[in-house]
Structure 1
Amino acid sequence: VLKNPGAKHSLGVGILNKLNLIIEGSLGYFGVGSIDGPVVRISGRVGWSCAENMMAGKVVIEKNAGSCFGAAVRGGDLICKGSVGARSGIDMKGGTIIIGGNAGAFTGFMMQRGRIIILGDVGPNLGDSLYDGTIFVGGKIKSLGADAVEAEMTDLDRFWLKRKLKVAEIDKKIDYSKMTKIVSGKKLWNYDNLEPTERKGAI
């Protein structure tokens, strides 16, 4: 147990073992980054770039998170029960990010793999330059980014969401029939091979 962290930066980084870490308070920037295996529970808030480059494990934040939440995550479950800032899941390469509240602009920017679940509303340019992966939104979407398109929800999607949200420990009633699924339109997959006039339409 880590008590009174005082919102200091770079706490709990580089933990490569399976262990339980309870943080009673809030973290500053770059908290619990580059971890591979631990289960971390944070009772307060976190600043920018929480759990950046996370490889495996589980992180649960009880309150809100800053921008770049879960940047370049590769595996594990990253959960914020409150709202998060802009560019959450930027350059994401695997794992799952679950947001109980709202998310800011450019969520899922340049996302390559993995899944993001947002139970609230999300800001403009959702999934901009999305290469692969899936984003599920329970609330309103201000706008979609370049090459992000809506897709049909399947029974398998709903089954996965119900199972994964149990892991998230978010005590919230969810109407899965109203959730929106966002995937890549794949127009940018071969962007370098497009003619100059075609590139304008792709973006």
Structure 2
Amino acid sequence: MANLKNVTKKTKAQAMGMHSEVLTGRTQQKFFNPDEAENFYYFGTYDVDFNKRTDLDVKNMTAAEANKELDNLMSQGYGTIVIKNPQGKHSLGVGILNKLNLIFEGSLGYFGMGSSDGPIVRINGRVGWSCAENLMAGKVVIEKNAGSCFGAAIRGGDLICKGSVGARTGIDMKGGTIIIGGDAGAFTGFMMQRGRIIILGDVGINLGDSMYDGTIFVGGEIGSYGSDAVDSELTQSDQDWLRRKLRVAEIGENFDVSKMKKIVAGKKLWNYDNLEPAEKKGAI
């Protein structure tokens, strides 16, 4: 019985972490080498040749059929693919986790190029709601206008619209850069957490409402500021970065960035639960 009691006490002590253990002969296990980042690929991606080019007419295809054939062409090594007759279909080009030059000759519907990581895309038309939602990396250029929720929750890459965009552009944005050549709608930058938005034209009401972090640059008039969005000083570093970004985006070549307004988070909402009732009312 004495032996059983000792065993029981030892087990409880171990469960509570009240025992010592000598660590001998253990070393860190190396899972990957960060210097080899260029060799990391998603499972199921393909080694493509950008000089290998083909066309894909999706006029008589559903979006699912078109996306499947797009994947099939990448599996054959095509690195430049031209999509003909997209005709405003929804959810085209979604989930591409591959290096690829992709050109759409026409307009897309809702959710075009969503959840992508890596492709360089040019859309020679308009796009509907939520274009490039959850973009991780790469570059997407829209030659005309875009609908609402443009670049929702993007995490990286460059998203460029040479025309105007709808409401809630950059909503829940977590990284990357959104560049607008024209105007933007209400609640642009709503709840953005990271990243930058550049708007060369005017922007609607409630700009940057409830933004947690990130930066918004506006070249035109601002309808109104949202909760916790405040002006900040436009530094020389900001101006240099804006010029480089616009030059790479091939937009606003002669735009005077020195006159742009810089908007950031006032950070009053960071500790909202700790504010007094009167302070909460002022914050929102």
Report the TM-score range of the alignment, normalised by the length of the smaller protein. Answer: over 0.9
Match of 1:6 among 87, 96, 99: 87
Q: Report the AA paired with residue 41 of structure 1.
A: R
Equivalent residues in 2 for 1:146-157, closer than 5 Å: 146-157=227-238
Q: Report the AA paired with residue 175 of structure 1.
A: D
Q: Report the AA paired with residue 126 of structure 2.
A: R
Match of 2:70 in 1: none
Match of 1:47 in 2: 128
Q: Does 2:108 correspond to 1:27?
A: yes
CA distance in 1, matches of 2:117, 2:248: 18
Match of 1:57 in 2: 138
Match of 1:91 in 2: 172
User: TM-score if structure 1 supplies the norm length?
Assistant: 0.98
Match of 1:163 in 2: 244
Higher-Rg member (1/2): 2
Q: Report the AA paired with residue 171 of structure 2.
A: I
Deviations, residues 131-162 of structure 1 (Å, cap 9, x unaligned): 10000001111110000001110000001001
Q: Secondary structure at the match of 1:8?
A: coil
Match of 1:72 among 135, 145, 153: 153
| Alpha-carbon offset, residue 197 of structure 1 | 2.3
CA distance in 2, matches of 1:196, 1:141: 29
Over the residues paired in the alignment, what is the CA RMSD in angstroms?
A: 0.7
Q: Report the AA paired with residue 107 of structure 1.
A: T
4+ residue runs over 2 A deviation = none
CA distance in 2, matches of 1:144, 1:187: 14
Q: Report the AA paired with residue 147 of structure 2.
A: G
User: TM-score if structure 2 supplies the norm length?
Assistant: 0.71
Equivalent residues in 2 for 1:102-121, closer than 5 Å: 102-121=183-202
Query: May I ask how many residue pairs the two structures share in their alignment?
Result: 203
**Which structure is higher in helix share?**
2
Q: Report the AA paired with residue 84 of structure 2.
A: K
The percentage of aligned residue pairs carrying the same residue is: 82
| Alpha-carbon offset, residue 201 of structure 1 | 1.3
| Alpha-carbon offset, residue 172 of structure 1 | 4.0
Q: Secondary structure at the match of 2:268?
A: coil
Contact conserved, 2:246 with 2:253, CA < 8 A, in 1? Answer: no
Which gives a bigger RCO, structure 1 or 2 (Cα 8 Å, sep 6+)?
1
Match of 2:218 in 1: 137
Give ranges in structure 1 of 5+ residues lacking alignment: none
CA distance in 2, matches of 1:77, 1:171: 15
Q: Secondary structure at the match of 1:177?
A: helix
Q: Report the AA paired with residue 131 of structure 2.
A: C
Deviations, residues 110-131 of structure 1 (Å, cap 9, x unaligned): 0000000000000000000011
Q: Does 2:96 correspond to 1:15?
A: yes
